[in-house]
C-alpha cells in the first residue's frame, strides 16, 4: 500500500496554501524532522497522504540524505521526489535489497514524538531503487 508521496517545495506553508486554494486539498501541520533540516505538512488522502516538504535549515540539510534530496528537488511549484510504501516486512525487504533500516522521527504540533523506521531512502534519493519503504506505528 502506498504510504505517501514526498513533494519537495521551496516554502512548505505557501505550497500548502496553494494546494488548498487550487485543488481544495487541506493540509495539517506536520513538523520538523530533527537532523534532516526539513519540515513538512500532511495532506490526508484516505489511508495515504501527500507530504509537501521543504528545507528549513540549509546547514543541517546538507548533512542529511533526505535534506539533500529535498533541496535538489525543491521548487516554487513543487516536485515529487519519492514515494513510500507501508509494510510490516521492512526487515525482510531490507535484507533482500541489501539496504539498511534507519529510524526517523518528528515532533508533532502537540509535542508528541512520531517515530518510524524506513529503508531504501538513500538508494531512492540516488535513483537506484524506488520506492523507499516505511513502517510507522499507527495509534
Round to whole Å and give the CA distance between 137 and 139.
Answer: 6
Residue 18 buriedness (CB in 10 A; 0-12 / 13-18 / 19+): middle
Report in angstroms the alpha-carbon separations of 75 from 55, 56, 59, 79, 114. Answer: 11, 14, 18, 7, 27
6 bridge partner residues? 51, 82
Alpha helices in the chain (DSSP H): 12-23, 58-62, 65-73, 90-97, 121-125
How far CA 64 is from CA of 31, 37, 74, 77, 114, in Å, comes to 17, 7, 15, 23, 19
Please give the distance of CA 116 from its chain centroid, rounded to a whole number: 11
Say what the pLDDT of residue 43 is.
97
Please tell me whether the overall predicted TM-score, pTM, comes out greater than 0.75 for this model. Answer: yes
Domain residue limits, the chain: 2-135
Reported CATH class of domain 2-135: alpha beta
What angle is formed at CA 12 by the lines to CA 70 and CA 82, rounded to 5 degrees? 35
38: which strand partners? 33, 55
47: phi then psi, degrees, rounded to nearest 5: -85, 5
pLDDT in tens, the chain (139 residues): 889 999 999 999 999 999 999 999 999 999 898 899 999 999 999 999 999 999 999 999 999 999 999 998 877 778 889 899 999 899 999 999 899 998 888 888 888 888 889 988 888 888 877 777 776 554 4
Amino acid at each position: 500500500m502506498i504510504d505517501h508521496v514526498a513533494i519537495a517545495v521551496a516554502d512548505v506553508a505557501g505550497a500548502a496554501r496553494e494546494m488548498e486554494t487550487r485543488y481544495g486539498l487541506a493540509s495539517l501541520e506536520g513538523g520538523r524532522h530533527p537532523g534532516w533540516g526539513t519540515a513538512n505538512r500532511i495532506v490526508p488522502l484516505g489511508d495515504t497522504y501527500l507530504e509537501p516538504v521543504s528545507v528549513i535549515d540549509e546547514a543541517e540539510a546538507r548533512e542529511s540524505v533526505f535534506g539533500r534530496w529535498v533541496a535538489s528537488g525543491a521548487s516554487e511549484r513543487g516536485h515529487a521526489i519519492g514515494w513510500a510504501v507501508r509494510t510490516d516486512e521492512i526487515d525482510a525487504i531490507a535484507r533482500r535489497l541489501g539496504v539498511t533500516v534507519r529510524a526517523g522521527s518528528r515532533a508533532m504540533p502537540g509535542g508528541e514524538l512520531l517515530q518510524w523506521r524506513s529503508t531504501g531512502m538513500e538508494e531512492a534519493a540516488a535513483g537506484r531503487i524506488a520506492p523507499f519503504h516505511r513502517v510507522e506505528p499507527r495509534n
